[in-house]
Amino acid sequence: MPAPSASIHLGVPIPYITSHGSKVARLHMYDWIVLVLLVILDGVLNLIEPFHRFVGSNMMTDLSYPMKDNTVPFWAVPIIGIIGPMIIITGIYFKRRNVYDLHHAILGLLFSVLITAVLTDAIKDGVGRPRPDFFWRCFPDGKPEYNNITTGVLCHGKASVIKEGHKSFPSGHTSWSFAGLGFLSWYLAGKIKVFDRRGHVAKLCIVILPLLLAALVAVSRVDDYWHHWQDVFTGGILGLVIASICYLQFFPMPSDDNGLWPHAYARHILNPEHLENNAQPAFMDRPNSLPNGSPRNSYGLEMGNNNQALDSMEAGWRYQGQDARIPTSDP
């Protein structure tokens, strides 16, 4: 009978590995260029005038809520959705020392937030839904004026305030928060193996915490009368969907056996067929050493600082030890 094949599990990289993160980043140069373009595009979307949806006198009942300051100010959203998750991701890097994980997590996080931002602002400009406090933006003195024929509003408020008043749908605070913190939830789920079927509910609570914070940001937008409930609901769904897509672009499902590390790390380390014509064998007759004299870890992966391996890491060709080969069945 053929011997059963064992599944392959990636081990934790030994901390003394010298990881050339700049080389990995250069190999993703086009991704970083696209990120810059997304920033520019989002800036343009914020400059252009949104669609001014018709607002009649009979619509003011739902648009006459008082103007309030933001409970969560605009400058705090990048801190909540980007800086905070980056700090956690960097902290995990210093513990695990995997440059692939650090680079792909930050890249995925930024893509999640920026794609969400562009979609959110594009929809805002196209829809032009008035905010719940539109009356006071349009008539800051409380004296309404309407067209005698169409009953449409004749605003005499500050132009920039009125412009912002036509950007209710969807909520940018909410979509940004769910994009960044949603990605962080996925990331933590993979790192703490929340779906390992061992029944540790405490792990699930850790994963839910970022989503709870994002939900509180969303609730504040309704409480401040800056958004209707439909705005924050749609913003939350949009941010969470983009976060999920971006995470799964770089990482396996958290329930996967190799869900701890990015796709690139697993593929480039464990696929021996990629090595046949692109790299020299990483093992010799000596069971505990490699051709360059560097030690072998318990997972058979090269732990040395071989420049050729580092130069070709992201291209898919990296040294591999004998113990990490894909098992085959005896005939």
CA dihedral 173, 174, 178, 181 (to 10 degrees): 40
Q: Token match 């005939």: residue? A: 331
Residue 41 DSSP SS3: helix
How many DSSP H helices and E strands does the chain contain? 12, 0
Among this protein's residues, is 227 annotated catalytic? yes
Report the alpha-carbon distance of residue 108 to residue 18 in Å, rounded: 23
Look up residue 87 and give its two tokens. 């700090």
For the chain, where are the alpha helices, taking DSSP H only?
21-27, 29-47, 76-78, 84-96, 99-127, 134-138, 159-165, 172-191, 201-223, 229-250, 263-270, 307-311
Q: What spatial distance separates the first Cα and last Cα of the chain, rounded to whole Å? A: 8
Report the alpha-carbon distance of residue 169 to residue 193 in Å, rounded: 36
In the beta sheet, which residues pair with residue 152?
56
- Pick the catalytic residue: 227, 228, 268, 274? 227
- Pick the catalytic residue: 103, 173, 268, 274? 173
Phi, psi of 205 (to 5 degrees): -65, -40
Report the alpha-carbon distance of residue 100 to residue 87 in Å, rounded: 16
* Count of Cβ atoms closer than 10 Å to residue 70 Cβ: 14
Look up residue 188 and give its two tokens. 């933590």
Catalytic residues: 173, 227
